[in-house]
Amino acid sequence: MQFKRTKRAVSGVLLLDKAHGISSNTALQQVKRLFQAEKAGHTGNLDPIATGLLPVCFGEATKFSHYLLDANKCYQARFKLGVTTTTGDIEGEILSQKPVEVTLDEVQQVLKRFVGPIQQIPPMYSALKHQGKALYTYARAGVDIYREPREVTIYKLTLDSFSGDELSVTVHCSKGTYIRVLGEDIGAALGCGAHMNALRRTETGSFKLSSAISLLQLEQMTPEQRDATLLPADCLLAGLQKVNLDSESAYYLQQGQSVWQAGLSEKGPVSLYGPEAVFLGLGEVTNEGKIAPKRLVLPAKNLTPSNP
C-alpha cells in the first residue's frame, strides 16, 4: 500500500539556481516535492537551455510574486555569430550561415545601439498566448502569427569577450526582454546573423545568483536545513516604504478596513507591519491619506514552515 506524502503550509522565498536542460516548471515541481509544499510558483520563466536564478515563492509569498515578475533582470549570454536558427538559440534548426568578418570595434559600436529603450518582436518559440494557445504550438505546426513589437529597456550592455564567431555579453534589462531576440538583432546589425548558445540569469530585482541554491544541494539537506534556506515573504516588498501599525490599526486593517496613519510621505504601495514587527502584507496609501489593505497574509502563526 502506498501512502501520500502530507503537504505542508510552507511560506517563504527560495532562491534556486536552475540547472541546464529542465524547464522552469519541472524545477518548480521538484522543489515543491522536496518541501512537501501545498502551494508554490516561480517568478520569471527560464528556457530549458538557460540556467541561473529562479526565485520560487511558497504559500503566502505567492501573493507578492508579481513584484519579481515585474523586476529588472541581469543575464550573462553567449551568442554564436554567423548562424541563425529557427528558435533563435542552439536548440533550433539552422536557417542560414554566413562568414563572420567583423572587428572588435564594429561589435562595440553595434552594442551601443542596443542600450536604452528598444523595440523587440517576441519570438514565435515563446509561451506568449494567441487565441488561448502558446505561440510555440503554432511555430511547431509551421504557422507564423503576427506579433506586435514591444518596447523594452536595456539599461546596460557590457561586452565580456569576443573571439572569432563567439560573443559574450552581460545584459541589465527590464522585464519582458528576450535575450534570444537581442542576440538575433545584434547579429543582424553586424550583417552576419547570430543565435544564442548559452544563457545564465544572475540577478532578479535585488536578488543575486550568489545567494541561490541548486536542486542537488537541496536534495542533500535535511527538511530542517531546507526550511532554513527560505527567505521571509516580506523580502519581496523590500523596496517599498515600511509602515508600522499599532495593535488597534492592525486589527481593523485585517478586517478589511482602511486605517489612518500619521507621517506618510506619499501615496502608493507600502509594506505593513503590526506590533513586534509582524508582517501583515501589502497596503496602499490613498488620496485621503489612509492605508487601504491590498494583499494581506494569514495570521503569523500559520506562516512558519512546520517540519514534517
Q: What residues act catalytically?
A: 47
Instruction: Report the 3 state secondary structure along 222-244.
Output: CHHHHHHCCECHHHHHCCCEEEE
Q: Read out DSSP for 231-284?
A: BPGGGGGTTSEEEE--HHHHHHHHTT--EE-TT--SSEEEEEE-GGG-EEEEEE
How open is the CA angle 119-201-78, to the nearest 5 degrees?
70
Query: Contact at 8 Å (CB) between 207 and 117?
Result: no
Phi then psi for residue 105, to 5 deg, are: -65, -40
Instruction: Report the 3 state secondary structure along 136-187.
Output: HHHHHCCCCCCCCCEEEEEEEEEEEEEECCEEEEEEEECCCCCHHHHHHHHH
